[in-house]
Amino acid sequence: MGTDRTHALSPALAKVLRALARVLLRQGMPYRVLDEIARKAFVDVAAAEFGIPGRKLSDSRVAVLTGLTRKEIRRLRRAASHGDDGAVDRYHRAARVVSGWVRDARYRDGGGRPARLPFEGRGATFSALVRRYAGDVPPRAVLDELVRVGVAARCADGRVRLCGRAYVPRAAAGERVAILGTDVSELIATIDHNLAAGDGQPFFQRKVAYDNLPAEVLPAFRALTARRAQALLERFDGWLAKRDRDVNPAVRGSGRWRAGVGIYYFEAGEPQGGNGNGP
């Protein structure tokens, strides 16, 4: 990367790392662990995405790209990758069950609300809902998780009712960080695409923010964003579900792509005598 681009990128990177450092320090992760993961990430991405077409990627090429020694690169290429794909998969499956329960007419009552479902049997049951939207995951395991986080409840008559319109995990801190890591990586991937796209076809990336708001307006704004954002996400969910081949195997087309939209809320304050770092 040229010197000018390095200078331009450095302040942005410092902001990203300060936010990340806050998370890591709060979770008790020392810098040496971040350093090892960062080195591994540089080597993996250089090897996977920055090779020369028609040539075998050498350790020397990766060394030129990353600035690491060939000995270090050989060690890192042999090292196991970090990640928790299982946690992310469990999150997506549970979220799909909840969204299917909300929007699929087969699992709604006469008033258009998510129906109270018998756990198993014929017709519209909770087990059928899980098989349709979560694949081969045991329905009992999905129900236990939804009940644990308060999204679903068991009724006295044995049926299951939906208590919320979105699945938000309340797992151990490590698992929650693994799940939230997908959101950060997707946002960065969108920014990377837009930086490279120039005047081409950038992905949608917008936000709205004001910086002189009184604290008293924040609760109302949090409630407004939660209500409106949830409704918008449910509309997007319904559109995508009709075109997803896991949900509708009859859908035709080429390739296997992942696409979606993420919405997040943020706030930071400077209370009297504070340091400006927010809550």
Over residues 83-90, the mean pLDDT reads 64
pLDDT at 172: 52
If one compares 188 and 81, the residue with the highest pLDDT of the two is 188
* Nearest Cα to Cα of residue 239 among 206, 261, 263, 220: 261
Q: Is the pLDDT of residue 81 over 80?
A: no
Give helix 218-241 / helix 85-103 axis angle, nearest 10°: 90
What is the value of pTM for the model shown?
0.69
Q: Are 249 and 257 in contact (CB under 8 A)?
A: no
Q: How far is CA 149 from the centre of its chain?
A: 18
If one compares 168 and 31, the residue with the highest pLDDT of the two is 31
Q: Is the pLDDT of residue 27 over 90?
A: no
Over residues 233-238, the mean pLDDT reads 91
How far apart, in whole angstroms, are the C-alpha atoms of residue 152 and residue 167?
10
Q: Model confidence at 274, in pLDDT bands (50, 70, 90)?
A: very low
Q: Model confidence at 120, in pLDDT bands (50, 70, 90)?
A: very high
Q: Is the pLDDT of residue 48 over 80?
A: yes
pLDDT at 173: 52
Over residues 151-168, the mean pLDDT reads 91
pLDDT at 189: 92
pLDDT in tens, 161-219: 999 888 877 655 556 666 667 888 899 999 999 988 877 889 999 999 999 999 999 99
Tell me phi and psi for residue 265, to 5 degrees: -105, 145
How far apart, in whole angstroms, are the C-alpha atoms of residue 42 and residue 60?
14
Between the alpha carbon of residue 159 and those of residues 104, 119, 153, 155, 186, the distances in Å are 18, 6, 9, 5, 38
